[in-house]
Homo-oligomer: A and B are copies of this chain.
């Protein structure tokens, strides 16, 4: 079963409301709830979504240099990537399933950004040379099956020599929290990928539907890419479990 994660209604748009409120100067803590009851409040996140180039990690700064040509920024959030690339004179289109996030992007000056869930990204948006999935947004693929379907669709939407710049989190990189390890095992038993995290975001009384967010090791990413027309060119590591893959169109 793949959980549909379409355009968020206002009641569901916990992500957009927290982003908008933070942008307007309100203190905000992002709160993720996992389907095993694990709750993960993170005070750093809203700030991260709006962070500027000078505050990026070396991994992020290195990764963004791979962006070229016409760029699709998937899960554009607060517009940190789109804004940077646009300022560099690149042609970038941001998409996000959060209407309020898109509003924040527009207010911040992103020229091209649309409300669009990943499941509705297709060739009607035109051809791209780069697909950006930063901020762990390889996770938006949701599941093994949907990742492969979308990768094949992305192949059709891209030019020869195109690339995907995708960030993920290696769930096996030590130290692994015992609670997370337990969750990975439970997922395996349910026939899901170990890092297929069913979660929802909560902010005040806003709450997203449950959705699957897919975290993978490098090896798992290789496996997912097999036969989709894409292959890893290189990985860019950071000090923690998060890494970026530069993925080439074959």
Contact = CB atoms under 8 A, between A and B. Distances in A.
A38 interface: yes
Integer count of this chain's copies in the complex = 2
Interface of A: 29, 31, 36-39, 41-43, 179, 202-205, 207
A41 B39 CA distance: 10
Contact of A31 (B41, B179, B205): B41
22 contacts: A29-B29, A29-B41, A29-B42, A29-B43, A31-B31, A31-B39, A31-B41, A36-B205, A37-B202, A37-B205, A37-B207, A38-B204, A38-B205, A39-B202, A39-B203, A39-B204, A39-B205, A41-B41, A41-B43, A43-B43, A179-B204, A179-B205
A140 B204 CA distance: 23
A114 to B, nearest CB: 29
A37 B208 CA distance: 12
Contacts of A38: 204-205
A205 to B, nearest CB: 5
A38 B17 CA distance: 13
A183 to B, nearest CB: 9
Contacts of A202: 37, 39
A207 to B, nearest CB: 6
Contacts of A207: 37
Contacts of A179: 204-205
A138 to B, nearest CB: 25
Nearest to A29: B41
A202 B179 CA distance: 15
A204 B32 CA distance: 11
A24 to B, nearest CB: 15
